[in-house]
Amino acid sequence: MDPYALPDISAAEGLEPIVLAQNEHAYPPSKFVQEAVAAALNKAQLYPDSDCTELCAAIARVHALNPDNIVCGSGSMELMSGLMLAYMSAADRILMTDYGYLFMRTLARLVGANLDTAPETGYQVDVDNVIAAVKPDTKLVFIVNPGNPCGSLLHNDEIRRLRTALPQDVLLMVDEAYAEFVDAGFHQPLFDLVEQGNTVITRTFSKIYGLAGLRVGWGYFPADIRDQLRKVINPGSVSLLSQVAARAAMLDQAGVAEARRLIATQRDYLTQEISALGLRVVPSHTNFILVDFETAAQASAAFEFLRNHRLVVRPMGGYGLPACLRITIGTPPQMQLTAQTLGAWRQQSNG
Ligand SMILES: Cc1ncc(COP(=O)(O)O)c(C=O)c1O
């Protein structure tokens, strides 16, 4: 099988790249997080708590959840792989949507499962299409909300409708890696669905919490699935320093609100600037935008132009969207440079 494709994040020769290709957070961890990590260093000779007890307690407190049903892993990717290993066998069937997170395709290959995709409509998950694509042997339905790479948001009422329409023995997995970027008014938590026993929800500290390098994800699982999952993920896969950092970040919800505001401001700015160039931008609820350049040739020319000006964005051919580029929202100077550079490219390619 092919390895999971990571992007080339180098700029043109000799230039220091500004990487806007991996949906990393624009800012380093807060002082609060850095101090907690520094203070925990003198315990680094010890193995970490494999239950992540204090981290789970902090997550449970903030989200009003039962801490016993939270499992943390080395990134939500580890939880996704663990779930696949625990739950799926060769020839089982997974259903995802057209542009759902590519890592699921790698996992399907890894466990030998068949993979079906339901068409999206206008870069948006279409619940009716998902329901129509369920087959008698579909075992898992995987939805990313808000979506990557499109950034679009499915109202949680739609996810509830999907759950109701799915057979009871089909597991629904909702990947909410970008949920914290959504304004509270749009996004009503879905965690109560987990209590029905056939839905799991994963989240991450890699995006709004800005800890991608420390590798911490978490999920909310029905008790029996949690027990199976814990058998297959490595005990101690979340390091002591990662647990401390994630706990401090979770308890700083004022910091999260501020990050959401800063990213939304820059996202609106970049969306407006790029739309003014006559390019279609998919309305985003995340820390990235998807820009449609109409043809693969245009997208690839814009990619190279940006790269020659240090800006490394993400080509979307691997997602079946070769006419699009995905741009991570960064700091105000980075976003100004991106808007100016795309403006210059547009002028040159029109002229
Ligand atoms: C939709 C989605 N899910 C999960 C992840 C992986 O997150 P983590 O860093 O927690 O493994 C990403 C990372 O880009 C993502 O885009």
What does the pLDDT look like over 267-322, one tens digit per residue? 999 999 999 999 999 999 999 999 999 999 999 999 999 999 999 999 999 999 99
The pLDDT of residue 72: 98
Residue with CA nearest ligand 1 atom 7:
76
- Which ligand 1 atom sits nearest the alpha carbon of residue 22? 14
CA dist., res. 134 & res. 141, Å (int): 8
What are the pocket residues of ligand 1 if the criterion is a CB atom closer than 6 Å to any ligand atom? Answer: 23, 75-77, 101, 144, 148, 175, 177, 204, 206, 212, 217
The pLDDT of residue 209: 97
pTM tops 0.85, yes or no: yes
**146 alpha carbon – ligand 1 mean position (Å):** 12
Sheet holding 171-175: strands in order across? 70-73, 217-220, 199-204, 171-175, 138-144, 93-97, 114-118
**177 alpha carbon – ligand 1 mean position (Å):** 6
Encoded amino acid at 49, one letter: D
Stretches where the chain sits below pLDDT 70 are 351
CA dist., res. 195 & res. 222, Å (int): 6
The pLDDT of residue 107: 93
The pLDDT of residue 14: 83
Give the mutation target among 22, 83, 103 for probing the ligand 1 site: most ligand atoms within 8 A of CB: 103
Give the mutation target among 74, 202, 206 for probing the ligand 1 site: most ligand atoms within 8 A of CB: 206
Judge contact between 78 and 217, C-beta under 8 A. yes
CA of 292: how far to CAs of 5, 126, 155, 264, in Å?
Answer: 21, 20, 23, 20
- Which ligand 1 atom sits nearest the alpha carbon of residue 204? 10
Domain boundaries in the chain?
Answer: 18-27+254-350, 31-251
The pLDDT of residue 349: 86
The pLDDT of residue 240: 97
The pLDDT of residue 91: 83
The reply to whether domains 18-27+254-350 and 31-251 share a CATH topology is: no
Q: Which residue has the tokens 């002082």?
A: 31
CA dist., res. 96 & res. 14, Å (int): 40
- The CATH code for residues 18-27+254-350 is 3.90.1150.10
Q: What are phi and psi of 95, to 5 degrees?
A: -120, 125
CA dist., res. 55 & res. 94, Å (int): 31
Interaxial angle between packed helices 103-111 and 75-87, expressed in degrees from 0 to 180 and rounded to the nearest 10: 30
**349 alpha carbon – ligand 1 mean position (Å):** 34
The pLDDT of residue 351: 63
**77 alpha carbon – ligand 1 mean position (Å):** 6
| Domain formed by 31-251, architecture | 3-Layer(aba) Sandwich (3.40)
